[in-house]
């Protein structure tokens, strides 16, 4: 019985068909062009077919090559589904769950969810990675985690999404800040003109404030950019300037009077909190249980 061609060689052929160039394919795969040519030649020998035509305008598929690329694409997709299914089965056998969450969710919501999950599944091993929303989405897309919890308004097309809660950002200042006495708040123009203490680009918090101010026809003026909610709160309490953070992150400090919320009428600072997973990926039972708990 004839052997199936190497899947990596088929994947390389599909890339050549998309780029139209052996050189560009070599660059994408970080290989030498002669190495790519040898692998294509090996695939042609294995199949007994001529797949590519090289010409002055680049590399094109032969008639047989176009048919092989179509079949190869289906075969590669089936291989990916097989790999994901085996991985899900292996994780179910081990009783493990991989989760990534943005900082606000990881600090204020996820611990309670995981505690409830462990009450019903005490032997379950849960790993929780903490990243900003962009990196959470990337981890889910790459298959590094089963579920991702993030704060972005939009998500990638490769991911399935379910919103489970509404959140709101607050502009907060130290009690000694002049804005603390403005009971009616400030307008968006004043907010945009002030050097703000904000999270880094890529975080859901930064995306929300950027989008809200942009919809008002303005841009924020970052005075201090930090990748930590705790650091931003400490800086605002110290009087360095106004900070923009989730109401979840500042609830305790507002209750103790360490920070004062400053209303910004006319600026929508609400945002959805969402859970995402790979489109077409079968979630393990433990992930479905965590998803149910988060929605409750």
Q: Which residue, among 281, 292, 290, has the nearest Cα to 144 in the 3D structure?
A: 281
Tell me how many domains the chain contains. 3
Tell which of 38, 60, 91 closes a domain: 91
Which residues fall within 8 angstroms of residue 167, CB to CB, at 6 or more apart?
A: 104, 151, 246, 247, 248, 270, 271, 272, 273
pLDDT band for position 11 (cuts 50, 70, 90): confident
**278 and 215 in a common domain:** no
In a domain, 143, yes or no: yes
Tell which of 91, 122, 147 closes a domain: 91
Surface-to-core class of residue 99, CB atoms within 10 Å of its CB (0-12 exposed, 13-18 middle, 19+ buried):
buried
The CATH number for 184's domain is 3.40.190.10
Tell which of 91, 109, 136 closes a domain: 91
In a domain, 178, yes or no: yes
**118 and 147 in a common domain:** yes
Structure tokens at 146: 């089963």
Among the ranges given (9-23, 192-206, 261-275), the one the predictor scored with the smallest mean pLDDT: 9-23
**281 and 147 in a common domain:** yes
Is pLDDT of 77 > 50? Answer: yes
pTM of the entire structure? 0.65
**252 and 195 in a common domain:** yes
pLDDT of residue 1: 41
Q: Determine the structural domain holding residue 289 and report its residue range.
A: 95-164+273-295
213 forms bridges with which residues in the sheet?
Answer: none
């Amino acid at each position: 019985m004839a052997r199936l061609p190497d899947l990596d060689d088929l994947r390389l052929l599909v890339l050549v068909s998309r780029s139209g160039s052996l050189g560009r394919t070599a660059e994408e795969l970080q290989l030498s062009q002669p190495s790519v040519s040898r692998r294509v030649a090996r695939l042609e020998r294995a199949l007994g077919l001529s797949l590519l035509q090289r010409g002055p305008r680049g590399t094109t598929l032969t008639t047989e090559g176009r048919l092989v690329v179509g079949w190869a694409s289906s075969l590669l997709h089936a291989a990916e589904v097989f790999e994901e299914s085996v991985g899900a089965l292996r994780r179910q056998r081990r009783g493990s769950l991989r989760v990534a969450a943005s900082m606000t969710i990881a600090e204020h919501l996820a611990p309670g969810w995981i505690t409830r999950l462990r009450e019903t599944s005490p032997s379950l091993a849960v790993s929780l990675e903490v990243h900003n929303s962009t990196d959470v989405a990337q981890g889910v897309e790459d298959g590094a985690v089963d579920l991702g919890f993030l704060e972005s308004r939009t998500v990638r097309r490769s991911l399935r999404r379910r919103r489970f809660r509404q959140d709101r950002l607050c502009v907060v200042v130290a009690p000694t800040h002049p804005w603390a006495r403005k009971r009616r708040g400030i307008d968006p123009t004043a907010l945009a003109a002030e050097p703000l203490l904000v999270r880094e680009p890529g975080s859901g918090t930064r995306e929300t404030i950027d989008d809200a101010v942009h919809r008002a026809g303005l841009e924020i003026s970052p005075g201090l950019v930090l990748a930590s909610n705790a650091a931003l709160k400490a800086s605002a309490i110290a009087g360095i300037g106004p900070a923009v953070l989730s109401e979840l992150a500042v609830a305790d400090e507002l209750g103790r009077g360490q920070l004062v919320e400053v209303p910004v009428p006319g600026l929508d600072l609400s945002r959805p909190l969402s859970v995402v997973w790979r489109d077409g990926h079968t979630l393990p039972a433990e992930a479905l249980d965590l998803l149910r708990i988060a929605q409750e």
